[in-house]
Structure 1
Amino acid sequence: MEIEQYGRAKILKPSVEDDELTAVDELDGAESLADFLYADTSVRHLIAADTTLSGGRLRRIEAERLTFSQVTLQSVVIDRCVLMSSDWIDCVLSRVVFRNCKLLGANFVDNKWSNVVFDNCRVEYATFETIHASASAVFVGTRFKEVTFRRSNLVGGHMSNCTLEAVEFDGGSYTDFDCRGNDLSTVRGARNLDGILIDPTQRQELAEALVSELDLRYVDEADR
């Protein structure tokens, strides 16, 4: 397996042989689907449940709604997809890359992750809740807006060159989560980022984020 490095995080890349993929019209209906290509289509509701998707690629998919429930994705590339109102419930993601995707209104809940990468994506109005990453989770060049990380374990992960607009960290474990290369001054829940890795210059940014959460009252000039 090929390894890709992001800062200190080492990621096992998906192994997808494009010349061996078989085009499919749907993802649901079988216990497992391997070496597949699901591409170039628009759907109202993309559904998969109680299945394993492995060694495949989702490319240029537009879905008004997505529901994945108890789905295992192993060695899968999700490329240039627009996924609206997506629910990823009780899923297992191993060696999965989201690349150049838009996830607008996403909920990742009770997921187990290993070697998951979001590369140059746009993630808006989303929640990552109770994510357990046994190997690094990586976010690079991704724009976040109105996103909450809640009670998640992202120990040893990596985030760089990301835009963090109205991003909240609500509990969880982030020890050795490498946040260098991001502006942290506007994050909410900065007190929950105990143990993250930062550059010395980011201390001021975190100080601003912490102060903004306090109910401070300033003395008027006339009262001094």
Structure 2
Amino acid sequence: MQTRTFGRLQLTLPALDEPGLYLSNVTSLESGRGHVQDFQYTDAGLRALDLADTQLITGRITSLRASRVQLQSVNLHAVEFDSCDLGSVQWSESKLSRAVFRNCKIMGADLDGLALDDVLFENCKLDYTAFSRIRAAGPVVFTGCSLAEASFTGCDLSDTVIRECSLRETEFRAGRYHDLDLRDTDLSTVRGITHLKGITINRGQQPQLTQALLTELAVTYGDGID
């Protein structure tokens, strides 16, 4: 079992290189049986990827390029995405467990109603993505990612780690953020700062939070007004 530790959080990752495990090359992620298991899907270029009511179990997806992706009730278990460009993604009502997204572009996505358990986003571009009703059912980590102008709405990110990420004008709307770990991330342009009750930061980030709050309150300084 492969694990990685981020602060107080320990992630269990897909064990895809275990002795005795063989991943078969597949030419499609579609299956009439409703699941694809022990698979490897590599270097595919698609105009559209549409999947519904599908289980992807124990597999690696590498260098997938798709202009449009629509996933409805598509559950992942022990699946790794590496160096994928998923274009415009709409992904809803699904559960992801022991999943890794590494060096991926998932920009302008609409992610709605996803339950995440042992999920890692590493060095991914997630700019302009709308995270709606995302629930951290277990450990979730974003590290080295760009989340510029992304938004989180109605999410439960309790005990989630967002570490060394770009949060330029990222908006946190009403949700649950208790013990959300935002250490080592610039918070000075974050929006919705008043919703982030109970988060964890370094002491050196206090001026960043102050700057974000003053911007949100549209404070006017009285020096020289009179």
TM-score range, shorter chain: over 0.9
Q: Distance in 1 between matches of 2:12 and 2:225?
A: 62
Cα drift, residue 162 of structure 1? 0.8
Q: How does 1:26-37 map to 2 (within 5 A)?
A: 26-30=28-32, 31-37=34-40
Counterpart CA distance in 1 for 2:178 and 2:2 is: 26
Q: Tell me how far apart the structure 1 counterparts of residues 223 and 197 of structure 2 sit (CA, whole Å).
A: 34
Partner of 1:124, secondary structure, is coil
Pair 122,219 (structure 1): closer, same or farther in 2 beyond 3 Å: same
Deviation, 1:17, is 3.6
Q: Please identify runs of 4+ aligned residues in structure 1 that moved more than 6 A.
A: none
Contact 1:79 1:98 survives alignment (8 Å): yes
**CA contact 1:27–1:47 (8 Å) conserved in 2:** no
Distance 1:10 1:176 in 2: 15
Superposition pairs for residues 75-86 of structure 1, below 5 Å? 75-86=78-89
Aligned mates of 1:76, 1:97 — CA distance in 2: 7
Q: Aligned residue for 1:157?
A: 160
Q: Secondary structure at the match of 1:55?
A: strand
Give the TM-score normalised by structure 1. 0.95
CA distance in 2 between counterparts of 1:214 and 1:200 reads: 22
Q: Which moved more, 1:20-29 or 1:211-220?
A: 211-220
- Partner of 1:7 in structure 2? 7
Shift in Å, 1:123:
1.1
SS of residue matched to 1:146: coil
1:170 corresponds, among 173, 189, 192, to: 173
Q: Which moved more, 1:91-100 or 1:11-20?
A: 11-20
What RMSD over aligned residues (CA atoms) do the two structures have, in Å? 1.4
Matches within 5 A, 1:120-139: 120-139=123-142
What SS does the aligned partner of 1:206 have? helix
Cα drift, residue 220 of structure 1: 5.9
5+ long unaligned stretches in structure 1? none
Letter in structure 1 aligned against 2:4 = E
SS in 2 for 1:67: strand
Quick one: distance in 2 between partners of 1:119 and 1:40? 20
Following superposition, the deviation at residue 156 of structure 1 comes to: 0.7
Percentage of matched positions with identical amino acids: 37
